Amino acid sequence: MAGLIGKKIGMTSVFSVEGKNIPCTVIQAGPCVVTQVKSVATDGYDSIQLGFDDKKEKHTNKAELGHFKKAASEPKRKIVEFKELTGELKLGDTVGVDTIDEEGWVDIQGVTKGKGFQGVVKRHGFQGVGGQTHGQHNRLRAPGSLGASSYPSRVFKGIRMAGRDGNDNITVQNLKVLKVMPESNLLVVKGSVPGAKGSYVIIYQ
């Protein structure tokens, strides 16, 4: 299977055989239901649509209810398409964490925590402390000059300034799989994963 939908549970640590303390992330990976199978003949391309995390019918509109009814599935909160497939899947099939190779490597995509409006020190890593001998008075965390004055008389695009930080779609590549627990649908990977606790992540094998 090329991918799987999961939910970030949190971080913990495990000990290796050599006695090293390894930080890791625990993810509830699946079970996911195949809610649609797309093909070149009907849709112009091949892909598999997976649904994850049940939601109540009263919170689902009629169009979505009809869509999930074709797959004989409960309504799902998260739906993702996967174009690259390694196996044959049919409508209504269930895909679990057992499709991920233990001791393998995965790429995980998620949305990072939103930080709101932030200054240049936190957003871009500016030093924030200039030389006091250069006429600096009370501008410790200011961005400094944005460009020339008379020419070009404007600020160029791409100048690093204060603004909204975080809440970005990020993919972390080559995370080592430490443990796969099919009985509880848990996946343990080495290192950190973007997003807050309870946020959805997409796992690519």
Overall number of domains in the chain: 2
Radius of gyration of the chain (CA): 23
Does residue 14 sit in the same domain as residue 76? Answer: yes
In a shared domain, residues 62 and 150: no
CATH code at position 131: 4.10.960.10
pLDDT of residue 159: 94
Query: How sure is the predictor about 7, in pLDDT bands with cuts at 50, 70 and 90?
Result: very high
pLDDT at 138 over 90: no
152 and 85 together in one domain = no
pTM, entire model: 0.83
Tokens matching residue 119: 């200054």
CB neighbour list of residue 145: distance below 8 Å, 6 or more residues apart:
none
81 and 162 housed in the same domain: no
**Enclosing domain of residue 43:** 3-114+168-204
Distance CA 203, CA 60 (A): 26
